[in-house]
Structure 1
Amino acid sequence: MSPLIIVLSMGLFLFFFSFISKRKHLLSTLLSLEGLMLIFFVLFYFLTSCFTSTFTLMLLFLVLTACEGALGLALLVSIVRSYGGDQFNSFNSLQC
Protein backbone atom coordinates (compact mmCIF):
# COMPACT_ATOMS: atom_id res chain seq x y z
CA MET A 1 0.00 0.00 0.00
CA SER A 2 1.27 3.43 -0.90
CA PRO A 3 2.23 5.82 1.92
CA LEU A 4 0.10 8.49 0.23
CA ILE A 5 -3.02 6.35 0.58
CA ILE A 6 -2.20 5.65 4.23
CA VAL A 7 -1.79 9.37 4.96
CA LEU A 8 -4.99 10.20 3.09
CA SER A 9 -6.95 7.53 4.93
CA MET A 10 -5.63 8.77 8.29
CA GLY A 11 -6.56 12.34 7.35
CA LEU A 12 -9.96 11.15 6.22
CA PHE A 13 -10.50 9.41 9.54
CA LEU A 14 -9.45 12.52 11.50
CA PHE A 15 -11.73 14.84 9.53
CA PHE A 16 -14.62 12.38 9.76
CA PHE A 17 -14.10 12.07 13.51
CA SER A 18 -14.01 15.84 13.91
CA PHE A 19 -17.17 16.13 11.81
CA ILE A 20 -19.20 13.69 13.89
CA SER A 21 -17.84 14.89 17.21
CA LYS A 22 -19.91 17.26 19.31
CA ARG A 23 -19.51 20.76 17.90
CA LYS A 24 -20.84 23.99 19.35
CA HIS A 25 -20.62 26.18 16.25
CA LEU A 26 -22.02 25.62 12.78
CA LEU A 27 -19.01 27.25 11.13
CA SER A 28 -16.56 24.71 12.58
CA THR A 29 -18.79 21.89 11.36
CA LEU A 30 -18.90 23.41 7.86
CA LEU A 31 -15.10 23.75 7.84
CA SER A 32 -14.72 20.10 8.84
CA LEU A 33 -17.06 19.13 6.03
CA GLU A 34 -15.05 21.15 3.50
CA GLY A 35 -11.84 19.51 4.70
CA LEU A 36 -13.47 16.11 4.28
CA MET A 37 -14.48 17.00 0.73
CA LEU A 38 -10.92 18.15 -0.02
CA ILE A 39 -9.53 14.83 1.17
CA PHE A 40 -12.11 12.99 -0.96
CA PHE A 41 -11.05 15.09 -3.95
CA VAL A 42 -7.35 14.31 -3.50
CA LEU A 43 -8.08 10.61 -3.09
CA PHE A 44 -10.39 10.66 -6.09
CA TYR A 45 -7.73 12.48 -8.14
CA PHE A 46 -5.07 9.87 -7.42
CA LEU A 47 -7.43 6.99 -8.09
CA THR A 48 -8.61 8.37 -11.43
CA SER A 49 -5.12 9.35 -12.53
CA CYS A 50 -3.92 5.79 -11.98
CA PHE A 51 -6.71 4.01 -13.83
CA THR A 52 -8.08 6.36 -16.47
CA SER A 53 -7.30 9.62 -18.18
CA THR A 54 -10.77 11.17 -18.03
CA PHE A 55 -11.27 13.84 -15.43
CA THR A 56 -14.91 14.66 -16.14
CA LEU A 57 -16.10 13.06 -12.92
CA MET A 58 -13.54 15.06 -10.94
CA LEU A 59 -14.85 18.28 -12.43
CA LEU A 60 -18.41 17.26 -11.55
CA PHE A 61 -17.27 16.46 -8.00
CA LEU A 62 -15.66 19.90 -7.67
CA VAL A 63 -18.81 21.60 -8.95
CA LEU A 64 -20.99 19.72 -6.47
CA THR A 65 -18.55 20.50 -3.65
CA ALA A 66 -18.64 24.20 -4.50
CA CYS A 67 -22.44 24.13 -4.56
CA GLU A 68 -22.46 22.39 -1.19
CA GLY A 69 -20.15 25.04 0.25
CA ALA A 70 -22.28 27.88 -1.09
CA LEU A 71 -25.43 26.28 0.32
CA GLY A 72 -23.75 25.84 3.72
CA LEU A 73 -22.64 29.46 3.81
CA ALA A 74 -26.12 30.66 2.80
CA LEU A 75 -27.63 28.62 5.62
CA LEU A 76 -25.04 30.01 8.02
CA VAL A 77 -25.87 33.60 7.05
CA SER A 78 -29.61 33.03 7.40
CA ILE A 79 -29.17 31.36 10.79
CA VAL A 80 -26.93 34.16 12.06
CA ARG A 81 -29.47 36.75 10.90
CA SER A 82 -32.37 34.88 12.50
CA TYR A 83 -30.85 33.75 15.78
CA GLY A 84 -27.91 36.13 16.28
CA GLY A 85 -25.19 33.48 16.31
CA ASP A 86 -24.10 30.14 14.96
CA GLN A 87 -24.11 28.19 18.22
CA PHE A 88 -26.22 25.07 18.14
CA ASN A 89 -27.66 25.60 21.59
CA SER A 90 -29.07 29.04 20.71
CA PHE A 91 -31.67 27.77 18.26
CA ASN A 92 -34.09 24.88 18.14
CA SER A 93 -34.96 23.50 14.71
CA LEU A 94 -38.11 21.79 16.01
CA GLN A 95 -39.95 25.01 16.74
CA CYS A 96 -42.49 26.27 14.21
Structure 2
Amino acid sequence: MWFSNIVGVGVIGVVVGSVCLMSQRKSLFGVLLSMEVFSLSVYIIIFSVVGSCGVFGGACLVFLGFSVCEAALGLSVLVSLVRSTGSDYVSGLILGHF
Protein backbone atom coordinates (compact mmCIF):
# COMPACT_ATOMS: atom_id res chain seq x y z
CA MET A 1 0.00 0.00 0.00
CA TRP A 2 2.76 2.45 0.89
CA PHE A 3 4.47 1.69 -2.42
CA SER A 4 1.65 3.12 -4.52
CA ASN A 5 1.37 6.20 -2.30
CA ILE A 6 5.05 7.07 -2.60
CA VAL A 7 5.12 6.42 -6.34
CA GLY A 8 2.01 8.62 -6.67
CA VAL A 9 3.77 11.46 -4.86
CA GLY A 10 6.75 11.02 -7.17
CA VAL A 11 4.58 11.06 -10.30
CA ILE A 12 2.78 14.21 -9.14
CA GLY A 13 6.16 15.82 -8.50
CA VAL A 14 7.36 14.86 -11.98
CA VAL A 15 4.25 16.40 -13.55
CA VAL A 16 4.58 19.60 -11.49
CA GLY A 17 8.29 19.87 -12.28
CA SER A 18 7.66 19.34 -15.99
CA VAL A 19 4.89 21.94 -16.13
CA CYS A 20 7.03 24.47 -14.26
CA LEU A 21 10.00 23.74 -16.51
CA MET A 22 7.95 24.28 -19.66
CA SER A 23 6.35 27.47 -18.34
CA GLN A 24 9.62 29.20 -17.38
CA ARG A 25 10.62 31.64 -20.07
CA LYS A 26 12.52 34.39 -18.29
CA SER A 27 14.51 33.37 -15.26
CA LEU A 28 17.27 30.78 -15.31
CA PHE A 29 16.90 30.39 -11.54
CA GLY A 30 13.30 29.24 -12.00
CA VAL A 31 14.43 26.70 -14.58
CA LEU A 32 17.03 25.33 -12.18
CA LEU A 33 14.50 25.07 -9.36
CA SER A 34 12.01 23.20 -11.53
CA MET A 35 14.75 20.82 -12.65
CA GLU A 36 15.56 20.14 -9.00
CA VAL A 37 11.90 19.36 -8.27
CA PHE A 38 11.89 17.05 -11.28
CA SER A 39 15.06 15.21 -10.23
CA LEU A 40 13.91 14.91 -6.60
CA SER A 41 10.63 13.38 -7.76
CA VAL A 42 12.42 10.89 -9.99
CA TYR A 43 14.66 10.02 -7.04
CA ILE A 44 11.57 9.35 -4.91
CA ILE A 45 10.20 7.03 -7.59
CA ILE A 46 13.51 5.16 -7.95
CA PHE A 47 13.88 4.88 -4.17
CA SER A 48 10.39 3.45 -3.73
CA VAL A 49 10.74 0.97 -6.61
CA VAL A 50 14.13 -0.27 -5.42
CA GLY A 51 12.88 -0.35 -1.82
CA SER A 52 9.84 -2.42 -2.70
CA CYS A 53 12.04 -5.05 -4.32
CA GLY A 54 13.95 -5.40 -1.06
CA VAL A 55 17.31 -4.57 -2.60
CA PHE A 56 18.88 -1.24 -1.73
CA GLY A 57 21.63 -1.16 -4.30
CA GLY A 58 23.70 1.67 -5.58
CA ALA A 59 21.07 2.86 -8.07
CA CYS A 60 19.71 5.47 -5.69
CA LEU A 61 23.16 6.80 -4.84
CA VAL A 62 24.23 6.94 -8.48
CA PHE A 63 21.14 8.90 -9.46
CA LEU A 64 21.58 11.20 -6.48
CA GLY A 65 25.19 11.81 -7.52
CA PHE A 66 24.10 12.71 -11.05
CA SER A 67 21.47 15.11 -9.76
CA VAL A 68 24.02 16.81 -7.49
CA CYS A 69 26.38 17.23 -10.46
CA GLU A 70 23.51 18.68 -12.49
CA ALA A 71 22.75 21.17 -9.73
CA ALA A 72 26.40 22.21 -9.40
CA LEU A 73 26.76 22.77 -13.14
CA GLY A 74 23.51 24.73 -13.27
CA LEU A 75 24.60 26.91 -10.39
CA SER A 76 27.93 27.62 -12.06
CA VAL A 77 26.16 28.63 -15.28
CA LEU A 78 23.82 30.85 -13.26
CA VAL A 79 26.72 32.57 -11.47
CA SER A 80 28.55 33.07 -14.76
CA LEU A 81 25.46 34.56 -16.38
CA VAL A 82 24.80 36.91 -13.47
CA ARG A 83 28.42 38.08 -13.39
CA SER A 84 28.54 38.75 -17.13
CA THR A 85 25.10 40.29 -17.74
CA GLY A 86 23.97 41.44 -14.30
CA SER A 87 20.72 39.43 -14.30
CA ASP A 88 19.52 35.86 -14.60
CA TYR A 89 17.19 36.41 -17.54
CA VAL A 90 17.42 33.88 -20.33
CA SER A 91 17.17 36.67 -22.92
CA GLY A 92 20.69 37.73 -21.94
CA LEU A 93 21.86 34.21 -22.65
CA ILE A 94 20.16 34.03 -26.04
CA LEU A 95 21.39 37.40 -27.27
CA GLY A 96 24.98 36.58 -26.34
CA HIS A 97 25.85 39.48 -24.06
CA PHE A 98 28.71 37.59 -22.49
Give TM-score scaled by structure 2 length: 0.84
Match of 1:86 in 2: 88
The CA distance in 1 between the partners of 2:5 and 2:66, in whole Å, is 28
Secondary structure (helix, strand or coil) at the match of 1:92 reads: helix
Q: CA deviation at 1:53?
A: 1.2
Structural RMSD (CA): 2.1
Moved more, 10-19 or 62-71: 10-19
Shift in CA distance, 54/5, structure 1 to aligned 2, threshold 3 Å: closer
* Percentage of pairs with the same residue: 31
Q: Which structure has greater helix proportion?
A: 2
Give TM-score scaled by structure 1 length: 0.86
Instruction: Tell me which of 60, 63, 70 is aligned to 2:65.
Output: 63
Structure 2 unaligned segments of length 5 or more: list them.
Answer: none
Structure 1 unaligned segments of length 5 or more: list them.
Answer: none
Secondary structure (helix, strand or coil) at the match of 2:87 reads: coil
